[in-house]
Amino acid sequence: MTTAHKSLLPGIGFHVICALIAALSLYPVVWMFSSSFKEASRVFAEAHSLIPQIWNFSNYARGWRGFAGISFATFFTNTVFIVLLSTLGTLLSCSLIAYGFARIKFRFKGFWFATVMVTMLLPSQIVLIPQYIIFYQMNWVNTILPLVVPTFFGSAFFIFLIMQFIRTIPYELDESAKIDGCSRFGIFSKIIIPLVTPALVTSAIFEFYWTWDKFYEAMVYLGKPKLYTVSVALRLFADPSSQTDWSAMFAMASLSLLPPIIVFFIFQRYIVDGISTTGLKG
C-alpha cells in the first residue's frame, strides 16, 4: 500500500462513520414517513419494513381533516402565526439588548449581564407556574399572548450570540458615524444591523425551530382546540381510551417537518457563519 493510499484511509474512515451516524439519525424519520402510508392496524405489525405492502395515500387526507370539525390547516396557520411573531419579537428585543451590552457603558453593566446569563440555567418548568399565575390574572390564558409576548423581552442565548458578533465589528465605525452626526439608534440600525445579519438569521432559525416544536407551553396556555398548534394537535391523535389513528398522526407529523427542513436548507450557510463567529471577540 502506497503512502498516498495510507493518507486516504483516515478520511475514508471519517466519512464512513459520519454516514453511519447520519443513517442512524435519519432512520426514525424515514420510518415515520413510511408508516404514514401504511394502514393504521399494520403500522406496528410491519414495523420492521420500511416499504408498505399497500400504499394508502388517503392517510394524509384523513389526517388533514383533523378532528372536532377543525382541519389541520387551522393548526398550521396558528403555528405559523405564533412562530412569525415570536421570531420578530426575539430579533427586535435581543438585538437591542445585545447592542446595549456590547457598545453602551452604564453602571453595573457586568452585574446585569451576568444576571441575564444566569437565566439560561433556569429550566422553563421552574418559572412556568409563576408565569401561568401572572398570565391567568391578566386574562391571557387561552390566547397566544403567553407564547408571543415574552419573546419581546429578550432571550439570554440570543443576546449572547448577537453581542459576541457585534464585538467583532470595529468600534471605529461607530466613531466615524458619530462624527457624521449619526445618532445612537442610527448607528444601530444603519451600521450594526446590516453587519450582524448572519447572527440575526441564525437567531431567527433557532427561534423558528424551538417555537415550531414548542409543546409543553402551548398545551398549558392554549385550552381551545381552534387555538392549538401543530405539536398539540398531533398529541390529540393518540387516544388511550380507543384506537389511535397512527397512520394519520404520522402523516401530519411528516408534513410538520417540511417547514423546518425548508428553512434549514435555505439559510444553512448563515447558521455556520453565525455560530463560527459567536466565540470571537474583536
**pLDDT tens digits along 202-211:** 899 999 999 9
Do residues 222 and 144 lie in contact, with contact meaning Cβ atoms separated by under 8 Å?
Answer: yes
pLDDT band, residue 279 (cuts 50/70/90): very low
Instruction: For residue 29, give the C-alpha cell.
Output: 424519520
Does the pLDDT at position 64 exceed 70? yes
**63-276 has which fold?**
MetI-like fold (1.10.3720)
Instruction: For residue 76, give the C-alpha cell.
Output: 398550521
pLDDT band, residue 78 (cuts 50/70/90): very high
- The half-sphere exposure of 103 on its side-chain side, counting CA atoms within 13 A, is 24
User: Which of left, alpha, beta for 218 (phi over 0: left; psi -120 to 50: alpha)?
Assistant: alpha
pLDDT in tens, 123-142: 888 888 899 999 999 999 99
The chain-wide mean pLDDT, for the chain, equals: 85
pLDDT band, residue 280 (cuts 50/70/90): very low
Pick 60 or 241 by higher pLDDT: 60
Do residues 249 and 171 lie in contact, with contact meaning Cβ atoms separated by under 8 Å?
Answer: no
Pick from 77-81, 107-111, 177-181, 273-277: least confident? 273-277
Pick from 182-191, 199-208, 227-236, 265-274: least confident? 265-274
pLDDT band, residue 12 (cuts 50/70/90): confident
